[in-house]
Amino acid sequence: MKHWQEAAAIFERIAARGDPPVRQALATVVRISGSAYRRPGARLLIPERGPTFGGVSGGCLEADVREIAQQVMRSGIARLRHYDTGSDEDTVWGLGLGCEGAVDILVQPVDGAFLEVLVPRARQLMAAGVPLALATAVGGPRTGRTALWGRGSLAAPSGDAEMDAALQRDAPGLVEGGASQVMERGPHTLFVEVLTPPPHLVVFGAGDDALPLVRLALEVGFQVTIVDHRPAHLTPERFPPPARLLLRRSEEGVEGLDLGPRHQAVVQTHSLAHDRGWIRALLRSPIAYLGLLGPKARRAELLEELGIQPTHRLYAPVGLDVGADGPEQVAVSIVAEMLAVQSGRRPGHLRDREGAIHAG
C-alpha cells in the first residue's frame, strides 16, 4: 500500500519538472532475492540537476543508481542494473554492502509517451482510486518501454503490439490477485506492477489519543477518516488533511460510509454507550478488521449487552502486546497490528522468521 502513495508522489514530481523543464530518469526495483531493504516497485526519481526523490534501498545503492541515471539521460537508453549485495563483485565496485541479497533495478529515461501520456493518465486514475497495472519491459527489444492498464483497458500503450496485448490479457487477473511479478511474454521480459488503492482506516472517536494514531496511520500509507459527534474535536487543526472528518453520532450508524473489505476500523470513544453503538453497526459491515480500545472486561461487557459472540474480525483489546504505555506507543501497537492483518502475517520477531524477510 505504501507503493501507491510513493508512485502518486513520483508521478506528481515528474509532471512538475520545472521551467525550463529538466531531463529526468526513473529507477525502479523490479526484482529481489534474499534480503533487500525495498521491495519491487520502489522508485527513485533522478533529475538532471537538483535533489532526487524516493528511494530504492536503505541508501547504499542510490549513489551508483544516480551515476547510471546520468548516463541514461544522456543516451536515452534504459539500463537494467544487477546488485548482488553479498558478493565480492560489488565490493570491487566500492559498494561493499553485505546485505546477503540481490536486487535488479531498471533505470529508464522519462521522456516521450511516458511523460506526455502515461503519467497524466496514471494521475487521473489514481485520483479516482482505480487499481492499476504498469508493465515495463526489463529485458528484450523494448527494454524501458512502459504500458498502463486501468478500468479494464489500456490507458497508455507502450507502442509494442505484443507487449500491449500481453498486458491487456494478464492485467485483470494480476490486479485481482494484487501481486506484482516478472514474467516472460514472447521476446519481452516484463515487470508488471500492480498498484491498488491503500486500505482505509476509520477511527471512531476524536479524543487526544486519536491524534498519534491518525498521524502514524497516514504516514504508513492508510487513508484515514475520523468520526465523532463533537464538532470541537473535528477540526483541521487537530487532524490536518489528508485526514477526512465526519460529524456523526453512533445511533446514526455507518450507512453511507461505503465500508468494504479494504476498510479497517478502530473504536475508541471512551464512552460505553457510543462504543456499543459503533460496534453493533460495524460488526454488520464487511470490514476486515475491527479494533476496540479497552480491557478484556470491557469487550466482554459490550458483547454480552449486544448478544454477540466474539468474531475473528474483532481485535479487543486492540493492538499488539509490546508493553505500550501512553497514546503514542499504543498507536504504534495498533498500526503494527493492522499491518500484520493487512499482509496476512502472524506477528513475531524477524530473528525467528525462516527464509527471507519479504517472502510470502
What domain range is 9 assigned to? 2-195
In a domain, 359, yes or no: no
Q: What is the mean pLDDT of the chain?
A: 90
350/127: higher pLDDT: 127
Which residue carries 509494442 as its cell?
A: 160
Smallest CA-to-CA distance from 105 within 33, 30, 53, 52 is with 30
Domain end residue (candidates: 175, 195, 215): 195
What pairing do the DSSP bridges indicate for beta strands 53-54 and 43-47? antiparallel
Q: Assign 3-state DSSP to the chain and report helix, strand, coil percentages, each to 5.
A: 35, 25, 40
In a domain, 349, yes or no: no
DSSP for residue 117:
I
Q: What is the CATH number of the domain that holds 249?
A: 3.40.50.720
Cα-to-chain-centroid distance, residue 64: 26
* Percent of the chain scoring above 90 in pLDDT: 74
- 169 and 39 within one domain: yes
- 289 and 173 within one domain: no
pLDDT of amino acid 91: 41
| Whether the predicted pLDDT of 221 surpasses 80 | yes
Q: How many domains does the chain have?
A: 2
* Percent of the chain scoring above 70 in pLDDT: 93
Average pLDDT over residues 77-87: 84
User: Structure pTM?
Assistant: 0.80
| Whether the predicted pLDDT of 94 surpasses 70 | no
pLDDT of amino acid 58: 81
- 143 and 76 within one domain: yes
Give the pLDDT band of residue 97 (cuts 50, 70, 90).
very low
Q: How far apart are CA 240 and CA 208, in angstroms?
A: 14
- 207 and 178 within one domain: no
DSSP for residue 352:
G
- 205 and 191 within one domain: no
pLDDT of amino acid 33: 83
pLDDT, one tens digit per residue, over 210-219 is 999 999 999 9
At a CB cut-off of 8 Å and minimum separation 6, what does 349 contact? none
In a domain, 165, yes or no: yes
Average pLDDT over residues 91-111: 70
Q: How far apart are CA 78 and CA 111, in angstroms?
A: 11
**332 neighbors 322 (Cβ within 8 angstroms):** yes
**Residues present in the chain in total:** 360
Give the pLDDT band of residue 87 (cuts 50, 70, 90).
low
pLDDT, one tens digit per residue, over 18-35 is 777 889 999 999 998 876
Give the pLDDT band of residue 16 (cuts 50, 70, 90).
confident
Q: Which strands sit side by side in the sheet containing 146-150, from one edge to the other?
A: 153-156, 146-150, 132-139, 188-195, 181-185
Average pLDDT over residues 162-188: 93
Domain end residue (candidates: 141, 163, 195): 195
Instruction: Identify residue 65 by its one-letter amino acid code.
Output: V
pLDDT of amino acid 100: 64
Give the pLDDT band of residue 112 (cuts 50, 70, 90).
confident
Name the burial class of residue 248, with classes exposed (0-12), middle (13-18) and buried (19+) by CB atoms within 10 angstroms of its CB: middle
pLDDT, one tens digit per residue, over 277-315 is 999 999 999 999 999 999 999 889 889 898 888 888 999
- 111 and 20 within one domain: yes
- 284 and 335 within one domain: yes
pLDDT of amino acid 311: 84
| Whether the predicted pLDDT of 162 surpasses 80 | yes
